[in-house]
Structure 1
Amino acid sequence: MTRLEYTNIDNVPKIHAELKETFRSGKTRPVPFRKEQLAQLAWLLKDNTDRIADAIHTDLGRPAIESDLLDINPSIGEAKDAYDNVAKWAKTEKARWTFNFFAMRPKIRKEPKGVVLIISPFNFPVLLLLGHLASALAAGNTVVLKPSELVPATSQLISDLISQYMDPGVVRVVNGDVSVTTKLLELPWDHILYTGSSRVAKIICTAAAKHLTPVTTELGGKSPVIIDPKCDMKLAARRILWGKIANAGQTCVAPDYVLVPREAQDALVNELMEVYQTFYPEGDPATSASFSRIVSQAHTTRIKRLIDGTKGTVVVGGTVDVEKRYIAPTIIRDVPVDDSTMDEEIFGPVLPIVPVRDVEEAIQIVNSRDHPLSLYVFTQDAAFKENVFSRTQSGAALANEVLVHVGATGLPFGGIGPSGSGSLTGKHGFDAFTHLRSTLDNPKWVDAIMKGRYPPYTPEKLARLRTALKVRMPPRPGGARPAQKSA
């Protein structure tokens, strides 16, 4: 296993100070400089695609196709999108025209926040680190990257490549365990982006609150799938199973559990089993080059506990090898809502199928739990889809697809409530790391109109100001003013 070189904890404040000095120098503000850094980031990824894919395979056993599709290419896309559009995104905007303020030339400046910290998880060690780095660079910030220590080969490679390709006064990598992260959180950042578990997010938000640092979080949760019994069941099975086995289920937007009307459960299970055979014709994919491994033995043990405790029936998979960090793709039917697999986000290749009475019960189950990062529905019925979407809450809502919205150009990616706060990717990522600074430039002649604001105050001045600043009111609801209650 590759050894990850940890950053000396005593150097962490120095790195922060150096990046703050760079930011205060104004070096990162010009758009041409930002584009140069974004181009370097894009080429870092392009030049080293095979090395990065190999490193991810070392850490996670992930097939190169999955790394290209879900991690590396989307990161290149983020860098290129920012490169192409940063001049437009960063342009000062005129405020909406109003008669009362047009003379003051109100504008909105797009300014970088300062020195930002990006903390990424193990499951997508490139996209959730370097993809977000593109947003921070486009916004004109200096950045500290904290990769996950659970993927040492990938984190070490990224550290080496950042030092080769990027300006060290603008981007630095800090590697280490909890002690290093704790030291980072003692410092006053201008923004923190954290992707990971809600448990750690609470720690990070508490630490950030001491400095009143704004935080964006991407957390996850149990993303449900609701099945319309009239849907294309074969299509649903193929896409759901792919979404569950990609990266061995270690994605924050993986389909976590399926809610299907009881009478349609057999049809769905049969289709899932057929799809499984086409994905892994050899049977158990323990030796397949098309299936990843769990990141650690501890995570493997946790997921094994969920399988061992299920009250449902395992119809596919169930094989676990803790030492080799292997869990076979596992499908469990007849799962009750109080099952072990329903207690927490699974974050592994285990798919519980929960039979329900109808879509109403499915919606009730979803609404009884924390808002998920994603919600999926499979249906060809527009009314069915709208019923589910309009009566639930989630970070994203997809029909007849899973996972791929994360890389959809122009869509914000983010959660709601317990599944996260704030939005990222593309222009939305730029906005997350940008301060919208209001400006006015009021000419002298306006005082001829607004001189009533200066003392001494008189009834005549009040009357003139009320006339000048009069707001055109909307129609009164009900038509009549409510009767005044006596004191």
Structure 2
Amino acid sequence: MTNYDDILQRCRTAFANGKTRDLSFRKKQLENLLRMYEEHENDMINALDADLRRPKQESLVVETEFLKNDVKNILYNIDDWVKPELPPKSMVNLMDDVQIYKDPYGVVLVIGAWNYPLQLLLVPVASAIAAGNCVVIKPSEVAANCAKFIQETLPKYLDNECYPIVCGGPQETTELLKQRFDYIFYTGSTRVGQIIHAAANKYLTPCTLELGGKSPCYIDKSVELKTAVKRILWGKLINCGQTCIAPDYVLCSKEIEVEFIKEAKEILKEWYGDNIKDSPDLSRIINKTNFDRLLGLMKHGKIAVGGSYNANELYIEPTIIVDVKAEDPVMQSEIFGPILPIYNVESAYDAIKFINSREKPLAIYVFSESDTVVQLFKDKTTSGGFCSNDVIMHCSVDTLPFGGVGFSGMGSYHGQYTFDTFVHKKSCLGKNLKALGEKLSSGRYPPYSERKANILNFLLRKRRPLPNLYLSHILVFGLGVGLTFLVNHYMQQSDNN
């Protein structure tokens, strides 16, 4: 088994020497990473095809182009992101240097997932590099071809001391988690996320856990149903449903269900033809374990669309199940496959009650032309993210944080939020020893007096912020100058007395 002690020690030595803190070094590593994406795009697509039989267009959009744009965005913005933040100052700190410093954690661990085996691993890795950390990179062993690509190709582009790659299954990961990391970023199931979190607790290691859950999709009678069905089916079937934010089940009335089934049959034929199994545009299930699990979920309720499968090809036809009960297995665990159950509710309020009776989902989707209904779901439910009249697309906005809540995860990332995940925001206060500043703060020293207490209360009093930022700064500066003279005057009087 790999000697993880040696790997971690090399990383710690490199970090202690300041190698990864150097901004030019970070930029060079990111440029190398981008070059790998560009030079090996076909190799990446081939590995994804070998693991998931994923259509090339899907892999381009959700993996290779996504990764290239992610690194470009970091390189465009890193000079601003690394700068200390300058928060507003109160009157008592008028003469001080107040900053929030972006401090890298040190040696971080990033564990990827098998369903998007390149994107979900390398997006956090890129920002961990940008933030100045050393990164131990652990691809998912389930997507074996992508793991092999990472192991063989990435070391040719990144510094091997600072960014080692470790491979293996549950046994190796268990041993790896015995090491002390400064931060852990994990993407995967809630069950394994709990194990990761428990291991991290030994050293009080902070974590981001990007998990999953059953993301509901409510439809009311106000929508243009054909468009709604198209968007829901696309979100359910991209990567053959093996997406953490895929719509897991539909909530609607029986009347809408009937029309939904009708539209779905026409759309599936339009997309995949008469023989869906032969279509090149539908991925396959990752392995037999998940294939068998999904077949088990199809045993309850009534199959209204699809239902066929081929074990040799790990193929499951897009399937819609009706007449399901809340306690059926398909309504209890995250589906993670091309199966869509429909659970009947009579109103938005019934849907909200049903959603709130379960664990908090990673996403909630609402299809309605009523702003009141959409706002009702926003106000009355809790989820990692929310999207109205579409599915999954909120994940594509890199100025929005992406992450779960409760059993669907903790922490968030994407865009600058990923960079911020991998830095500790260190509060820094700089004061000087000059006479003016000392006079301003000398009221804290004994002997205490009512006059000193009045001055301190005035300085420390919270005031309503002014609407204009510049006006506020000007007034605070003017008050500070005047206050300095007043403090100086009172202190002189105190000295004379």
TM above 0.5: yes
Deviations, residues 425-480 of structure 1 (Å, cap 9, x unaligned):
11000000011111122112333232343455566654543344333489xxxxxx
Letter matched to residue 291 of structure 2: T
Q: After TM superposition, give the deviation of residue 13 of structure 1 in Å.
A: 1.7
Question: What CA RMSD, in Å, does the superposition of the two structures yield over aligned residues?
Answer: 1.6
> Quick one: which of 308, 320, 323 aligns to 1:334?
323
- Match in the other structure for 1:50: 42
**C-alpha distance in structure 2 between counterparts of 1:166 and 1:180, whole Å:** 23
Q: Is the 8 A contact 1:81 1:426 kept in 2?
A: yes
Q: After TM superposition, give the deviation of residue 169 of structure 1 in Å.
A: 2.1
Higher helix share: 2
**C-alpha distance in structure 2 between counterparts of 1:402 and 1:73, whole Å:** 20
Q: After TM superposition, give the deviation of residue 63 of structure 1 in Å.
A: 1.2
Q: After TM superposition, give the deviation of residue 287 of structure 1 in Å.
A: 2.7
- Match in the other structure for 2:2: 9
Q: After TM superposition, give the deviation of residue 269 of structure 1 in Å.
A: 1.2
- Match in the other structure for 2:170: 178
Deviations, residues 398-447 of structure 1 (Å, cap 9, x unaligned):
11211222222311111111111111011000000011111122112333
Deviations, residues 291-326 of structure 1 (Å, cap 9, x unaligned):
111111111111111102x1x221222123334322
SS in structure 1 of the partner of residue 252 of structure 2 = strand
> Quick one: which of 458, 461, 465 aligns to 2:456?
465
- Match in the other structure for 1:322: 311
SS in structure 2 of the partner of residue 213 of structure 1 = coil
- Match in the other structure for 2:492: none
- Match in the other structure for 1:298: 289
* 1:22-171 mapped onto 2 (5 Å cutoff): 22-171=14-163
* 1:256-405 mapped onto 2 (5 Å cutoff): 256-283=248-275, 285-308=276-299, 310=300, 312-405=301-394
- Normalising by structure 2, we get a TM-score of 0.90
Letter matched to residue 290 of structure 2: H
SS in structure 1 of the partner of residue 286 of structure 2 = coil
Letter matched to residue 281 of structure 1: G
Q: Is the 8 A contact 1:216 1:422 kept in 2?
A: yes
Q: Is the 8 A contact 1:314 1:333 kept in 2?
A: yes
SS in structure 2 of the partner of residue 94 of structure 1 = coil
**C-alpha distance in structure 1 between counterparts of 2:264 and 2:247, whole Å:** 14
Deviations, residues 265-289 of structure 1 (Å, cap 9, x unaligned):
1111111111111111133x22321
Q: Is the 8 A contact 2:112 2:138 kept in 1?
A: yes
Letter matched to residue 62 of structure 2: L
> Quick one: which of 189, 200, 204 aligns to 2:196?
204
**C-alpha distance in structure 1 between counterparts of 2:103 and 2:462, whole Å:** 32
Q: Is the 8 A contact 1:116 1:141 kept in 2?
A: yes
SS in structure 2 of the partner of residue 108 of structure 1 = strand
**C-alpha distance in structure 2 between counterparts of 1:161 and 1:48, whole Å:** 9
> Quick one: which of 407, 418, 425 aligns to 1:429?
418
**C-alpha distance in structure 2 between counterparts of 1:365 and 1:61, whole Å:** 36
Q: After TM superposition, give the deviation of residue 391 of structure 1 in Å.
A: 1.3
Q: After TM superposition, give the deviation of residue 260 of structure 1 in Å.
A: 0.8
Same amino acid, percent of matched pairs = 39
Q: Is the 8 A contact 2:273 2:279 kept in 1?
A: no
Q: Is the 8 A contact 1:9 1:183 kept in 2?
A: no
Q: Is the 8 A contact 2:102 2:423 kept in 1?
A: yes
SS in structure 2 of the partner of residue 93 of structure 1 = coil
**C-alpha distance in structure 1 between counterparts of 2:459 and 2:423, whole Å:** 35
Q: After TM superposition, give the deviation of residue 334 of structure 1 in Å.
A: 2.5
**C-alpha distance in structure 2 between counterparts of 1:77 and 1:473, whole Å:** 42
> Quick one: which of 227, 232, 236 aligns to 1:244?
236
Structure 1 residues 467, 234: closer, same or farther in 2, change over 3 A? closer
Q: After TM superposition, give the deviation of residue 64 of structure 1 in Å.
A: 1.2
Q: After TM superposition, give the deviation of residue 47 of structure 1 in Å.
A: 1.3
**C-alpha distance in structure 2 between counterparts of 1:473 and 1:399, whole Å:** 36
Query: Quick check: 1:453 aligned with 2:444?
Result: yes
Structure 1 residues 315, 467: closer, same or farther in 2, change over 3 A? closer
Aligned residues: 463
**C-alpha distance in structure 2 between counterparts of 1:288 and 1:470, whole Å:** 69
Deviations, residues 240-262 of structure 1 (Å, cap 9, x unaligned):
11111111110000110000122
SS in structure 1 of the partner of residue 102 of structure 2 = strand
Q: Is the 8 A contact 2:86 2:100 kept in 1?
A: yes
**C-alpha distance in structure 2 between counterparts of 1:127 and 1:209, whole Å:** 27
Deviations, residues 162-220 of structure 1 (Å, cap 9, x unaligned):
11111112211100011111121111111100111111111111110111100001111
**C-alpha distance in structure 2 between counterparts of 1:465 and 1:359, whole Å:** 54
Q: Is the 8 A contact 1:269 1:333 kept in 2?
A: no
Q: Is the 8 A contact 2:363 2:386 kept in 1?
A: yes
Q: After TM superposition, give the deviation of residue 149 of structure 1 in Å.
A: 0.6
Q: After TM superposition, give the deviation of residue 393 of structure 1 in Å.
A: 1.1
- Match in the other structure for 1:477: none
Q: After TM superposition, give the deviation of residue 102 of structure 1 in Å.
A: 2.0
> Which segments of 5 or more consecutive residues in structure 1 lack a partner in the other structure?
1-7, 475-487
**C-alpha distance in structure 2 between counterparts of 1:266 and 1:176, whole Å:** 47
Letter matched to residue 9 of structure 1: T
Q: From the CA coordinates, give the structure whose radius of gyration is larger.
A: 2
**C-alpha distance in structure 2 between counterparts of 1:384 and 1:186, whole Å:** 48
**C-alpha distance in structure 1 between counterparts of 2:306 and 2:124, whole Å:** 36
SS in structure 1 of the partner of residue 251 of structure 2 = strand
Letter matched to residue 250 of structure 2: V
**C-alpha distance in structure 1 between counterparts of 2:128 and 2:240, whole Å:** 29
Letter matched to residue 394 of structure 1: S
SS in structure 1 of the partner of residue 364 of structure 2 = strand
Q: Give the 4+ runs in structure 1 shifted more than 6 A.
A: none
**C-alpha distance in structure 1 between counterparts of 2:311 and 2:6, whole Å:** 41
SS in structure 1 of the partner of residue 92 of structure 2 = coil
Structure 1 residues 435, 80: closer, same or farther in 2, change over 3 A? same
**C-alpha distance in structure 2 between counterparts of 1:179 and 1:9, whole Å:** 11
Structure 1 residues 267, 26: closer, same or farther in 2, change over 3 A? same
**C-alpha distance in structure 1 between counterparts of 2:457 and 2:143, whole Å:** 64
SS in structure 1 of the partner of residue 20 of structure 2 = coil
Q: After TM superposition, give the deviation of residue 352 of structure 1 in Å.
A: 0.3
Q: After TM superposition, give the deviation of residue 17 of structure 1 in Å.
A: 1.1
